[in-house]
Structure 1
Amino acid sequence: MTSTAFAPEWTLGATRSSHRWAQMPGNWDRLNTRALFPSGNRWGIPDLPPASAEPARLVPYNARHAIAAARPGDAVHFFLDDYRFETVWSKPERGLSRCCSVGAALTPDFSLWSNMPLAMQLWQVYRSRWCGAWLLSHGVTVIPTVSWSTPESYPFAFAGIATGSIVAVSTVGVVRDREARALFAAGYAAMLDRVRPARVLVYGTASATCSVGDVPVRAYPSRWAAK
């Protein structure tokens, strides 16, 4: 898998006293304004170039031994509880090492819950795409992960993903929950219509929902199924 050159527009957050600092203090930029990436949408969600990589295996970000044993063609995934990978946003320099060592990564799957305010859901999508753009700018091959909640999230849930890109989704927690299954099915159909992906990588069970249309699907077993 090859990486794509991707450069951010570097900025510096200024304060009344920042001109006196020889070095920026820790946690000075919690919103990651120092690296703003190109965007063609009204929210400023970073645009990611089309992904063409199809990983041989997916290894979890929090599994150090699995990452150390990763083989060429593998990719890091973030289908985990959010707190297990929050560092890729809060301390992006620290979060780089594991993804760089493998060479490829899916974008972080920050949760979108249907009972979240839309502003929070939008922020989660922004953070996911930003992390993808950040990894790309450091030579990591990136595959966008797509998440959505209710139809109200669709306008921004697919923003920043190039038409025809390979994308990744997760069905973990969906199959056995009737309401979640219905929301997933509706969002999946909307994603196919708007993104028109070349292929969908499914973490978990590739349910009947993922067979809609003629888009090819590749399923990867979740850690529960792999046991």
Structure 2
Amino acid sequence: MNKKRKAILDDGCCPELVSGAEFDGIFEIPIIKKPEKIIIPKMIVPFSERNKVKDRKQAIIGFYEMDPQFASVLISPKDFIDEFKSYGGVISPDCSLYRDATLSAQITNVYRNRVVGSFFQRKGIYVIPQIRWGSAETYTTSQFPEKIAFLGVEKKSIVAIGTYGCIKHAVDKYHFKAGLEAMLEELEPDVVLVYGSMPDSIFGDYLHSTRFVQYDDWTKIMHGGDR
């Protein structure tokens, strides 16, 4: 009887996903390489809503939703290779980095993000790294000599971040802005895609640092009827 894989850490941490990968840092995080040409997508569509897009090549798939919604991609990314090739690309999975989660869990979800993103990239899919930080230990060197949240991403490239649901309270805004500043200093990205709002109180100080491209969240797009 075949045993169904339940999580990305089954079967020896899925060694087939890192075949041919390069690694970064003390935790050997798989690297999502800078693309030969930076392509800015017309729209970002959530994974669970991807079949509602009329022109797939104009859209890139994002994972700005609850983790169970895209668990199938984490569990068996190879099942999505052909489908994802029909889109303009994918943003690496936005695995949750809750500030109150253990640091080991946060590091694991950085790994999940990069391992799946690098796997798709090596299969010929255009991949933009999703950058997510959690507690201060992930975006500073207070705990480790490296800023964990930014490992596995090359400098002066294109990255994506999400504000949707992440800047509701004062403490959320504080950590988001602190992590944003750390990310800009560490990665020096040429382009930053922003899924969700860009309040001036958070982004105003950094608009000169790089090119930001803002995308409305899917709920707002649906209410506006723009697909």
* Paired AA for residue 22 in structure 2: P
1:6-155 mapped onto 2 (5 Å cutoff): 26-27=4-5, 29=11, 31-36=13-18, 37-51=21-35, 52-67=38-53, 69-154=54-139, 155=147
* Paired AA for residue 177 in structure 1: H
Structure 1 residues 207 and 48, CA, compared in 2 at 3 Å: closer, same or farther?
A: same
Larger Rg: 1
- Superposition CA RMSD, Å: 1.9
Cα shift readout 1:153-190 (whole Å, capped 9, x = no counterpart): 12210001100011110111233311111110000000
Which secondary structure does the structure 2 equivalent of 1:217 belong to?
strand
1:161-200 mapped onto 2 (5 Å cutoff): 161-200=153-192
1:204-215 mapped onto 2 (5 Å cutoff): 204-208=196-200, 209-213=202-206, 214=208, 215=210
Structure 1 residues 61 and 70, CA, compared in 2 at 3 Å: closer, same or farther?
A: farther
- 1:210, 1:217 within 8 Å by CA — same for their partners in 2? no
Cα shift readout 1:132-173 (whole Å, capped 9, x = no counterpart): 111111110000000001220122100011000111101112
- 1:53, 1:143 within 8 Å by CA — same for their partners in 2? no
Larger relative helix fraction: 2
Query: Number of residue pairs matched?
Result: 204
Q: Tell me what 1:160 maps to.
A: 152
Structure 1 residues 138 and 210, CA, compared in 2 at 3 Å: closer, same or farther?
A: same
* Paired AA for residue 211 in structure 1: G
Percent identity of paired positions between Structure 1 and Structure 2: 27
Cα shift readout 1:62-119 (whole Å, capped 9, x = no counterpart): 114224x234232111101100101111111223343222140100000000000000
Q: CA deviation at 1:35?
A: 2.9
State TM-score, norm by structure 1. 0.83
In the aligned structure 2, how far is the partner of 1:55 from the partner of 1:199?
Answer: 12
In the aligned structure 2, how far is the partner of 1:75 from the partner of 1:101?
Answer: 10
Structure 1 residues 65 and 182, CA, compared in 2 at 3 Å: closer, same or farther?
A: same
Structure 1 residues 30 and 56, CA, compared in 2 at 3 Å: closer, same or farther?
A: farther
In the aligned structure 2, how far is the partner of 1:136 from the partner of 1:115?
Answer: 31
Instruction: Please list every run of 5 or more consecutive structure 1 residues that lacks an aligned counterpart in the other structure.
Output: 1-23
- 1:143, 1:166 within 8 Å by CA — same for their partners in 2? yes
Instruction: Please list every run of 5 or more consecutive structure 2 residues that lacks an aligned counterpart in the other structure.
Output: 140-146
In the aligned structure 1, how far is the partner of 2:50 from the partner of 2:184?
Answer: 34
In the aligned structure 2, how far is the partner of 1:83 from the partner of 1:182?
Answer: 27
- 1:171, 1:202 within 8 Å by CA — same for their partners in 2? yes
State TM-score, norm by structure 2. 0.83
